[in-house]
Structure 1
């Protein structure tokens, strides 16, 4: 199935997708969602527009036949910062042959922009659940923002941003990055409403964009960490990290996690350092302290109860590492939380 897109905005793209695959578009708090459940596809595509030419476009959908998006960039040609959270998709520019199609794999990012009047071909597979996050930047609008400071970017990306006449094409395929996966996962879990939701989503969009740029800078400067881990092994590390964060009180150890996951202790250490810049032990401690801070802030539990709940046995040790991390003791933090606001 081929879908031709010649829209002038992200909103137009979603509306043209609706014309091709069906479904209904709903709007709430400035967030538009195309919901589809038919023989062509099942799932949703959502978009939000923010100030200064930044748009969020997210796919959470399964197509039941192979789909090719043919996007004419004559009217709308933003920079695409794309990340694949689930599944995979493929891309080529209009001037390239099908032999030059490149694949965006799960946990991989790509920065793409086409030339004015060119075409982007996006290929979506059949019967594969897709979770794809796209941040689109309209360069002319974005460069009007005084705080954008694009001159702080590396030379390659700076040239992409300041190419307001869209004379050049650019594609940078990044390495696997689970920090982006975690941040995009947090974006998808925002459950607040109204203005608070919009602010939370926009803040996370900027964080995700900054991670894209940071990864690109490291790649250009040849400072990307090398790893022997396979994508399958990185997925296992991420699963373990989520397991730890969701159940911090469990008695974890490097040996037990290695036995449970089937990865060697060396590979586990490598994976955690690569993805979370922490050893396994440091990550466990970090997760417990984050949970403890939330308990103190949001519950009436005593410090001793918090210590027990998060899996520590020594209150003095907990107090020591809590103060080292947050610069304040648990009891002082609790007192500050309990102080009523003066009106």
Structure 2
């Protein structure tokens, strides 16, 4: 296992300390630093970007060729971390590897450590990792963004105003497909120069707001006890991942039940608990997301998209697309001019 100890007081120092252990070369453009990796330790990149309003961005898009443990000391640099895992799986925790929490794809996480503690991130080898990390430097952020901070729930409010870093906080949220859309569009911004920086900043605001909204909602709702065991919920998540990976497949509840080893009733309960949707609704929603992505990134016409994603009726597709996005597929595609779509 490769151990990378982080003792920096800045996000760019974070990048340099990673480079000192696993190598790579830096590419810099308009304040963005990208550590390019293609060696015996890793392949891909890690991106670092800081803004003057107390927010930093780190993007992992990398395959580590060895197990890697990041240990970041918080004595000189202790932001709040808003984390979203788009692909892969890694573990997150404080101080000891014995207490690491496994993070699933499409899961949101909020963590903040106390002064002098260690933040741990463990990445297993040979797994493609796409992880978005938004860091909030509390003192700096509150000087410029104090208005409206009191509108968040008290639990998260206390984390923001803990500028002396006296307390530790962790929140492991449920899966968030809406956030996945925005994280992906952030990564796909194609503009250059000032326009690119403005679009990145705007998208970071949206992703940060989605983290906060999800946290607010979770704290307002008294969640019922899980209807399934943890091992069964993991099987449900695996079913969801397979649907997201291949939305066009003609799934049936019976087949998904057999393949997951869960009864049809348990599978439905699991989807309602984790995603607030039935299995059928989840498949339909995932196909609509896939259709929108194809409109954003390909020249396929609407009929081609309909059959590519597994629908058999264009009129039905148009009906549910309008219900979901308040615009017809034809109107939506007409207004798509570049990969960056909010």
Question: In the aligned structure 2, how far is the partner of 1:188 from the partner of 1:335?
Answer: 20
Identify which of 242, 245, 251 aligns with 1:239. Answer: 242
From 105, 120, 123, the equivalent of 1:122 is 120
Q: Secondary structure of 1:44's partner?
A: strand
Q: How far off is 1:192 after superposition?
A: 1.8
SS of the aligned residue for 1:278 comes to: coil
CA RMSD, 1 decimal: 4.0
My pick for the range that moved more, 40-49 or 194-203, is 194-203
- Count of equivalent residues: 324
Query: What SS does the corresponding residue of 1:52 show, helix, strand or coil?
Result: coil
1:28-43 mapped onto 2 (5 Å cutoff): 28-43=29-44
Deviation at 1:63, TM superposition (A): 5.3
Query: 1:19 deviation in Å?
Result: 2.0
Alignment partner, residue 269 of structure 2: 270
Contact 1:183 1:204 in 2 (8 A): no
Corresponding residue number in structure 2 for 1:341: none
User: Where does residue 111 of structure 1 map in the other structure?
Assistant: 110
Specify every segment of 5 or more residues in structure 1 that has no aligned partner in the other structure, as ranges: 339-343
Other structure's SS at 2:36 match: strand
Cα deviation, residue 38, structure 1: 3.6
Deviation at 1:79, TM superposition (A): 1.0
> Does the alignment pair 1:190 with 2:192?
no
In structure 2, how many angstroms separate the alpha carbons of the residues matched to 1:297 and 1:69? 38
Partner of 2:152: 153
Q: Is residue 53 from structure 1 mapped to residue 54 from structure 2 by the alignment?
A: yes
SS at match of 1:230: helix
| Counterparts of 1:178 and 1:296, CA distance in 2 | 21
* Unaligned runs of at least 5 residues, structure 2: 337-342
Equivalent residues of 2:113, 2:119 under 8 A apart: no
Report the CA distance between 1:56 and its aligned residue.
1.1
What SS is found at the alignment partner of 2:163? coil
Q: TM-score, normalised by structure 2?
A: 0.74
Superposition map of 1:176-325 within 5 A: 176-179=174-177, 182-183=180-181, 186-187=184-185, 190=188, 192-195=190-193, 197-221=196-220, 223-224=222-223, 226-228=226-228, 229-244=232-247, 247=248, 251-259=250-258, 263-287=262-286, 291=291, 311-313=311-313, 315=315, 321=320, 324-325=323-324
Distance 1:257 1:227 in 2: 18
- Scaled by the length of structure 1, the TM-score of the pair is 0.74
